[in-house]
């Protein structure tokens, strides 16, 4: 085979050097890189054997790569223990030349096939001034190394030093990342178990200062409500004696727009004069990251140093991770507080529901010759519907007021709520005589709202209607009086639809008036027809002098009167169709022969079947009165 020309040899060497460089650059594991690179080095030098030592922190050398060792010094074996000439020379600083020809102590004392090797060329592997290791290549023809070969071997040693330094740096970074991740994981667990948001924030800023090896770390909260920036948690700041976070840092700028994201000279790079407390810290190095929740900025997480410092991109990324944990902590605390508030509200609503339930009759009246049934279910925990049964004095007999002495203000107020009139000064209300069982009032009403506002307005409405009706006045007069009292006391903008009727069980008449409520239904057993009790009137709480029409109907044996709220007829299915009054009339027509409780059950079944699982959007109230057949 013809010998290569100098140009061809140079091209081959450069090609191999390029391949070696790519191999070293691609490899992240140091041992794999050296195991792959050593055969290329030996081949490039035209040799057979080579090995590499690396120096550790204790100045000991470890064999990390080998290629085609002769049997006499195969590894592992006795030849690799004891003294080593090249290592001794390296430790004494005598491998300073580019290439050193060393008589190998291992080859000299080895027993067996040495392949005629006695010496090797040693190249110190450098990274700057640090000696990282030794590259050894062995041959029997050292005297024939040309200057070009020596220069090539030196270049290889330089490439190895660069690759080893990079690999070690990568390992250090990897170890640091593992440590950072472990710290972040531990921090996350501690934040989850923190007793309060203050201790969680304080823990986070301490960890932030330690992870970024900074002098100080702080979380500055943007208080949009008060238009200021608040130092919520801090580590490493010099605060005035006795002053602890939260501290108003900037009373005029909640987001500190003038601070740079990153700076080695905070005061010089700020776009405006720093707040006094921040300026007094004399920080130079600065790194800040905005904290956002759902895309809305809520504050700023900053780390600072007293000396000028250029924070690196990976440090900014680490601070961003801390900022993300901070945002999660703040959001978790917000959700926790909302959950506590909901829990308190649920407890309060449970109490309100119990109180509201106490305003409704706990049982239906027992009236000879009649059966009564009632049902109430709120769409929410509390609602605005109500019904009531009111025992009345005999027709034409009002509750008298006699004169006397010692009348109290409370007596006057009770008289006002009962009759709508103030008792004369110096008078007191005597006890009301027991009502005869022949007459009683029936009320059903619906406040035009839901939830707590409707429940409160329901209490007012029920009180004034009961007070207005208790002296036995006519239904139209009751609604007129109740409307006036509601207008006098209510300023909420709510109003109430109501229906009030008086049943006289002696002559079986039912006198009634309507304040804008759904028309009750009258089932006539004799004909099977259902009629509306269509008295005209306006809702209570809107106009000061409304007109209420008063009508009378007669209940024959087996007749049924069904009072209801719009939660029944306006119940809606998934196709947004209403149950409507026609369906209610049909149910009442088919069930009029049943008892009031059974009629109510059939109506509720029909509504439930019609809605087919659609949610109840309004309170449902039913009152059914039936004359015995």
| pLDDT number for residue 274 | 93
Neighbouring residues of 237: CB distance < 8 A, sequence distance ≥ 6 = 216, 218, 231, 281
Please report the domains of the chain, with CATH numbers, ordered by start residue. Answer: 6-173 (3.30.450.40), 194-336 (3.30.450.40), 360-394+435-627 (3.60.40.10)
CA dihedral (30, 33, 36, 39) in degrees, to 10, reads -80
pLDDT for position 110: 82
Q: Is 594 exposed, middle or buried (0-12, 13-18, 19+ CB in 10 A)?
A: middle
pLDDT one-digit tens code per residue, 147-168 = 777 777 777 888 788 777 777 6
Assess whether pLDDT exceeds 80 at residue 353: no
95: confidence class by pLDDT, cuts 50, 70, 90: confident
Q: Which long-range contacts (CB under 8 A, 24 or more apart) does 377-381 make?
A: 377/616, 377/619, 377/620, 377/621, 378/353, 378/619, 379/450, 379/567, 379/616, 379/617, 379/618, 379/619, 379/620, 380/349, 380/450, 380/451, 381/346, 381/349, 381/350, 381/352, 381/353, 381/451
pLDDT-derived band at 319 (thresholds 50, 70, 90) equals confident
**Contact between 349 and 452 (Cβ < 8 Å):** yes
Say how far apart CA 526 and CA 560 lie, in whole Å. Answer: 11
Of 560, 579, 567, 614, the residue nearest 376 (C-alpha): 567
Average per-residue pLDDT for the chain: 82
Distance (Å, rounded) from C-alpha 423 to C-alpha 404? 11
Confidence band of 491 (pLDDT split at 50, 70, 90)? low
Query: Cα separation of 99 and 151, whole Å?
Result: 8
d(CA 164, CA 123): 15
| pLDDT for the residue numbered 6 | 66
Q: Between 437 and 256, whose confidence is greater?
A: 256
pLDDT at 187: 63
Asked if pLDDT for residue 608 goes beyond 80, the answer is: yes
Comparison of pLDDT for 587 and 448, the residue scoring more:
587
Confidence at residue 301, expressed as pLDDT on a 0 to 100 scale = 92
Instruction: Determine which helix (DSSP H) or strand (DSSP E) holds 568, and give its type and residue range.
Output: helix 566-569
- Which residues, including other chains, have CB under 8 Å from residue 230's CB and lie 6 or more apart? 220, 221, 222, 223, 245, 246, 247, 248, 249
Query: For 337-354, b where at least 16 C-beta lie within 10 A, e where not — what string?
Result: eeeeeeeeeeeebeebbe
Q: Strand 509-515 to strand 439-447: parallel, antiparallel, or no bridges (unpaired)?
A: unpaired
pLDDT top residue among 622 and 182 = 622
Measuring CA to CA, which residue among 628, 368, 378, 388 is closest to residue 500? 388
Burial class (CB in 10 A: 0-12, 13-18, 19+), 150: middle
Lowest-confidence segment of 170-174, 200-204, 274-278, 378-382 by average pLDDT = 170-174
284 versus 195: which is more confidently predicted? Answer: 284
Once rounded to an integer, what is the mean pLDDT over residues 585-608?
95
Task: Judge if the upstream peptide bond of residue 485 is cis by omega within 30 degrees of 0.
Answer: no
pLDDT, one tens digit per residue, over 285-314 is: 999 999 888 888 999 999 999 999 999 888
Share of the chain above pLDDT 90, in %: 35
Give the integer Cα–Cα distance in Å for 302 and 291: 10
Q: Averaged over 115-128, what is the pLDDT?
A: 83
Mean pLDDT on 229-257? 91
Residue 142: pLDDT over 80: no
pLDDT of residue 193: 59
Alpha helices in 46-104 (DSSP H): 85-91
Give the pLDDT confidence score for residue 409 in this predicted structure.
43
Residue 435 has pLDDT above 50, yes or no: no
- Give dist(CA 625, CA 623) in Å, integer: 7
The dihedral sign for the CA sequence 73, 76, 81, 83: positive
pLDDT higher than 50, residue 410: no
Distance CA 40, CA 30 (A): 16
Helix residue spans in 62-146 (DSSP H): 85-91, 105-109
Output the pLDDT for position 423: 44
CB 224 within 8 A of CB 331: no
Cα 161 → chain centroid: 52
Query: Which tokens hold the place of 450?
Result: 């839901």
pTM: 0.51
Mean pLDDT of the 27-47 span: 79
Least confident of 102-111, 112-121, 432-441, 457-466: 432-441
* Residue-level pLDDT at 443: 95
Note the pLDDT tens digit of each residue in 511-564.
999 999 999 999 999 999 999 999 999 999 888 889 999 999 999 999 999 999
pLDDT at residue 132 is higher than 50: yes
Tell me: pLDDT of 41 over 70: yes
Average pLDDT over residues 343-353: 74
Q: How confident is the model at residue 367 (pLDDT cuts 50, 70, 90)?
A: confident
Q: How many CB atoms lie within 10 A of CB 179?
A: 11
């Amino acid at each position: 085979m013809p010998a290569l020309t100098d140009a061809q040899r140079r091209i081959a060497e450069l090609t191999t050097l390029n391949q070696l460089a790519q191999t070293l650059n691609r490899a992240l594991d140091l041992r794999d890189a050296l195991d792959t690179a050593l055969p290329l080095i030996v081949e490039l030098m035209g040799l057979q054997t080579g090995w590499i030592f690396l120096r550790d922190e204790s100045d000991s050398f470890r064999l990390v790569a080998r290629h085609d060792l002769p049997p006499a010094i195969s590894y592992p074996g006795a030849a690799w223990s004891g003294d080593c000439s090249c290592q001794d020379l390296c430790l004494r600083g005598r491998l300073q030349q580019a290439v050193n020809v060393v008589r190998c102590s291992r080859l000299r004392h080895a027993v067996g096939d040495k392949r005629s090797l006695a010496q090797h060329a040693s190249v110190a592997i450098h990274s700057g001034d640090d000696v990282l290791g030794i590259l050894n290549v062995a041959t029997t023809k050292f005297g024939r190394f040309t200057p070009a070969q020596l220069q090539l071997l030196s270049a290889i040693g330089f490439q190895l030093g660069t690759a080893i330094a990079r690999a070690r740096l990568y390992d250090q970074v990897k170890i640091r990342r593992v440590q950072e991740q472990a710290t972040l994981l531990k921090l996350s667990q501690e934040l989850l178990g923190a007793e309060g948001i203050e201790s969680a924030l304080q823990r986070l800023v301490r960890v932030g200062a330690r992870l970024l090896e900074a002098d100080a770390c702080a979380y500055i909260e943007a208080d949009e409500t008060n238009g200021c920036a608040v130092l919520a948690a801090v580590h490493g700041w010099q605060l005035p004696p006795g002053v602890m976070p939260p501290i108003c840092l900037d009373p005029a700028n909640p987001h500190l727009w003038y601070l740079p994201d990153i700076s080695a000279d905070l005061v010089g790079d700020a776009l405006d004069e720093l707040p006094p407390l921040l300026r007094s810290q004399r920080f130079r190095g600065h790194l800040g990251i905005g904290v956002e929740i759902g895309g809305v900025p809520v504050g700023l997480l900053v780390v600072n140093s007293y000396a000028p410092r250029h924070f690196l991109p990976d440090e900014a990324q680490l601070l961003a991770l801390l900022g993300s944990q901070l945002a999660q902590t703040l959001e978790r605390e917000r959700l926790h507080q909302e959950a506590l508030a909901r829990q308190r509200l649920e407890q309060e609503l449970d109490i309100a529901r119990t109180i509201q339930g106490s305003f409704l009759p706990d049982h239906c009246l027992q009236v000879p010759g009649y059966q009564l049934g009632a049902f109430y279910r709120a769409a929410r925990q509390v609602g605005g519907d109500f019904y009531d049964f009111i025992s009345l004095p005999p027709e034409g007999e009002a509750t008298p007021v006699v004169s006397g002495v010692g009348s109290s203000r409370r007596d006057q107020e009770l008289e006002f709520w009962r009759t709508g009139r103030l008792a004369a000064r110096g008078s007191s209300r005597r006890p009301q005589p027991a009502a005869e069982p022949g007459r009683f009032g029936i009320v059903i009403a619906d406040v035009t709202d839901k939830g707590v506002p409707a429940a409160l307005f329901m209490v007012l409405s029920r009180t004034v209607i009961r007070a207005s009706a208790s002296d036995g006045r006519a239904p139209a007069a009751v609604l007129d009086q109740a409307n006036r009292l509601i207008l006098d006391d209510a300023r909420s903008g709510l109003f109430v639809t109501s229906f009030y009727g008086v049943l006289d069980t002696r002559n079986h008449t039912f006198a009634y008036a309507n304040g804008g409520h759904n028309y009750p239904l009258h089932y006539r057993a004799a004909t099977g027809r259902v009629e509306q009790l269509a008295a005209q009137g306006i809702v209570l709480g809107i106009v000061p002098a409304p007109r209420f029409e008063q009508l009378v109907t007669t209940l024959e044996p087996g007749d049924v009167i069904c009072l209801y709220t719009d939660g029944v007829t306006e119940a809606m299915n998934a196709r947004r169709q209403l149950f409507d009054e026609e369906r209610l009339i049909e149910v009442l027509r088919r069930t009029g022969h049943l008892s009031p409780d059974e009629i109510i059950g059939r109506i509720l079944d029909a509504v439930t079947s019609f809605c087919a699982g659609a949610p109840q959007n309004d309170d449902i109230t039913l009152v059914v009165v039936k004359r015995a057949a």
